[in-house]
Amino acid sequence: MDNGLQVFPDGLLYHGNCIHIMNSLDEKSIDICVTSPPYNAKKEYEKTQQTREEFFEFQKLWLREVFRLLKDGGKLFVNIGWWSGKREKRFFLPLNFITIAENIGFRFTSWINWVKGSLKAPQSGRASGDIYGVSPFFSNGDEPILYFSKGKRKHENNKHENWYKWTKTPWVFAPSHNKKHPATFPLELPLRCILMTSVEGWVVLDPFGGSGTTALAARQSKRNFILIEKEEKYCELICKNLL
């Protein structure tokens, strides 16, 4: 990467802090944002586990920048978990996240449940708690995808063969099992979000680039992309996946 920037025919990859980089981009230059931010789940790319206050303060920072970058009528999809933090002090994510986003100016439009795997056999962690006791700990086999809008824009026809089908939830498909990146963010997730809310040639942003899944979805649907990734090794992985 040259000076922290890799240029592709259909997009850009920035290496660095997403807040700083988004701050350098032009206002109202993005059509939609599809992302899955770190949600304090002790993944490899999360150096320390944040407190509730630290976690939500960071959400405010990047959401403000995304709001500034989105055009009027722009869309934001955020895939997060239900819970964060250690079990004894865990906190519920969606409600607080929605409140923060709405205070910034987003309109919470709807909620998509993503069932990971199949309805008969969703993939989840092992349930725990009392062994056959009265205090079990239930393990979720699904995750929320929060859908926000920034104002309105003129109508654009993007109807495709799955348009009506995908307006129904839950969305059911398997998570990713990429051995080179610990996130389970599958191609199908950003692909559906992009196809449902944009047209060819629009610009898609992902501030947490990961392995480049959002860029691959944008490319497959003939959109342009801007990715930001802070870890150099994952920038290298993205380049391998996109070149």
pLDDT digits (tens, 9 = 90+) for 173-210: 998 777 666 677 899 999 999 999 999 999 999 999 99
- Residue-level pLDDT at 45: 47
Beta bridge partners of 30: 70
**Measuring CA to CA, which residue among 118, 121, 28, 24 is closest to residue 67?**
28
CA distance 113 to 146: 9
28, 112, 148, 151 from 74: Cα distances, Å: 9, 18, 9, 7
Query: Longest C-alpha distance within the chain, in Å?
Result: 58
pLDDT digits (tens, 9 = 90+) for 102-158: 999 999 999 999 999 777 766 766 666 666 777 777 778 899 999 999 999 888 999
Tokens representing residue 133 in the block: 């006791």
pLDDT digits (tens, 9 = 90+) for 211-227: 999 999 999 999 999 99
Q: What is the distance of C-alpha 7 from the center of its chain?
A: 22
CA distance 163 to 148: 18
pLDDT digits (tens, 9 = 90+) for 71-107: 999 999 999 988 876 666 778 899 999 999 999 999 9
CA distance 191 to 219: 9
- Domains of the chain are 27-119+140-203 (3.40.50.150)
Neighbours of 241 (CB within 10 A): 15
